[in-house]
Amino acid sequence: MFTDSHGRLQPAWAFLLSALLSCAAFIAIGYLAAALAGDHILRFEAIFRPLLAISLLTSFSWLLSVANHVDAHRIAAQGLPLFPGWAKQFGAGCAIGSVLVMAAVIPIAILGSLTFRTTLNLHSLPRIAVALGVLLTGALAEELMFRGYPFQRLVDATGPAGAIVVFSVLFGVVHLLNPGASAWGLMNTIAIGVVLALAYLRTGALWLPWGLHFAWNLTLGLVLGLPVSGYRLFNVAVHATARGPKWLTGGSYGIEAGAPCAIAILAGLIVLWRVPMKAPVAEPQPVPSHDHVNAVSPNSPN
């Protein structure tokens, strides 16, 4: 019931156990970061996000060892193999994320208005560096949690479609706790979750979705100075104000709750679905799994 003929934990149970470990890590590290940072929110994030990413990598490595009998390449088995071209995949993800954000912002500039206020100086450089670190590790932590080991085991248990639905909905529901959350924001965030899941499934690695996730938040919050899922935490050098109807700007939640963002996400989904991609050729994958890439790709190589 719990294990297969080789003594490995069944994928469904591995998914449940890893989900519980993820929640436990999120809560425990949240309390620790709050105790260390006090009321300083950027300091809190600078502690919380890297520690969460490290904790998830460690927890899932332990699971791979005890549940899947994987004794080597455990970071690679989580979706981070250092195959030739991994940096190109990360860079491609960054490019896609940036372009999608710009595609969602341009209609606001045309149909509404955007005003910018900059505070870039020597004193802001340390805050920019901290914000970059938070964005990079925060995107990694969320990808590990929502497209990493738990997602991969659910794909093994139910197939790609079921795993995409479960984790994309969870990704959206978690963001309902953010300031200014709305039905539009929930639907768009679920759709972004689908895009990120597809980015993983098309490549068999987390480099592409990690880059996309990182660049989306970087472009939106640090470069353009707009809210990121309701938070203005990353507007440390640029602060922008979007004016127009709520369906256009997304209100206080930001563009991720607007109609232009929904169109941009749909475009990103089509690009990721149609552009030919290859799964990485790396160390032998030690975790039994279904053929994720061929299951979702209309252009998979024979």
pTM score: 0.90
| Residue 4 placed within a domain | no
Comparing 233 with 5, the larger pLDDT belongs to 233
| Residue 74 placed within a domain | yes
| Residue 120 placed within a domain | yes
| Residue 2 placed within a domain | no
CA distance 44 to 77: 30
| Residue 256 placed within a domain | yes
Give the pLDDT band of residue 295 (cuts 50, 70, 90): very low
pLDDT at 4: 78
pLDDT at 280: 52
5, pLDDT greater than 80: no
Span 236-261, average pLDDT: 96
Long-range CB pairs of 84-87, under 8 A, 24+ apart, other chains included: 84/281, 85/280, 86/205, 86/207, 86/280, 87/207
Span 152-175, average pLDDT: 96
First to last CA, the chain: 35
Where in the sequence is the domain holding 221, given as residue range(s)? Answer: 11-296
Distances (CA, A) of 255 to 104, 115, 182, 240: 7, 14, 12, 12
| Residue 5 placed within a domain | no
Give the pLDDT band of residue 302 (cuts 50, 70, 90): very low
Span 214-228, average pLDDT: 97
Secondary structure letter of residue 220 according to DSSP = I
**What phi-psi label fits residue 227: left (phi over 0), alpha (psi between -120 and 50 degrees) or beta?**
beta
| Residue 227 placed within a domain | yes
Q: How many domains does the chain have?
A: 1
Span 92-121, average pLDDT: 95
| Residue 3 placed within a domain | no
Span 147-164, average pLDDT: 96
Q: Single out the residue of 260, 27, 271, 289 nearest to residue 149, CA to CA.
A: 289
Q: 208 exposed, middle or buried (CB, 10 Å; 0-12, 13-18, 19+)? A: buried
- Tens of pLDDT, residues 29-75: 999 999 999 889 999 999 999 999 999 999 999 999 999 999 889 99
